[in-house]
Amino acid sequence: AQKITQTQPGMFVQEKEAVTLDCTYDTSDQSYGLFWYKQPSSGEMIFLIYQGSYDEQNATEGRYSLNFQKARKSANLVISASQLGDSAMYFCAMREGSGFGNEKLTFGTGTRLTIIP
């Protein structure tokens, strides 16, 4: 089974609207971390936001927030007031384990977000 599933290959959103990018995950670990990255056409991988499995509050970083629903194993990224510069590929990723051993990230297949002026 896929560990990270992103079901939206592509999305088109009007500028200034909010957008939700879906991510579901599969793990039997109690301790894990969920990450979102932005990859513009230039190729770099930009860290956006992190949510730990024991964090009770949803993570927020500026215009980014993570809608974490542990029972449903979902970690959707919400971008408020989208901007043209938000057009990029977005990857959801998971780190399983406590962070002191198996720390590699497993990525989803990504969602290509296009912001329309």
Binding interface with another protein (CB under 8 A): 33, 35, 37, 43-47, 50, 52, 91, 95, 98-110
| Smallest distance, another protein to C-beta of residue 35, A | 7
Q: In the complex, what is the shortest distance from the CB of residue 89 to another protein, in angstroms, rounded to a whole number?
A: 9
Nearer to another protein (CB atom), residue 59 or residue 115:
59
In contact, 9 and 68? CB cutoff 8 Å: no
Report the C-alpha dihedral over residues 63, 3, 39, 41, rounded to 10 degrees: -140
Shortest CB 15 distance to another protein, Å: 26
C-alpha separations of 87 from 9, 17, 77, 114 in Å:
13, 13, 14, 5
List Cβ neighbours of 25 (8 Å cut-off, separation of 6 or more): 3, 4, 5, 32, 34, 73, 74, 75, 92, 94
**Nearest to another protein of 45, 81 (CB atom):** 45
Q: Which is nearer to another protein, 78 or 107 (CB)?
A: 107
> Which residue lies nearer to another protein by CB, 83 or 98?
98
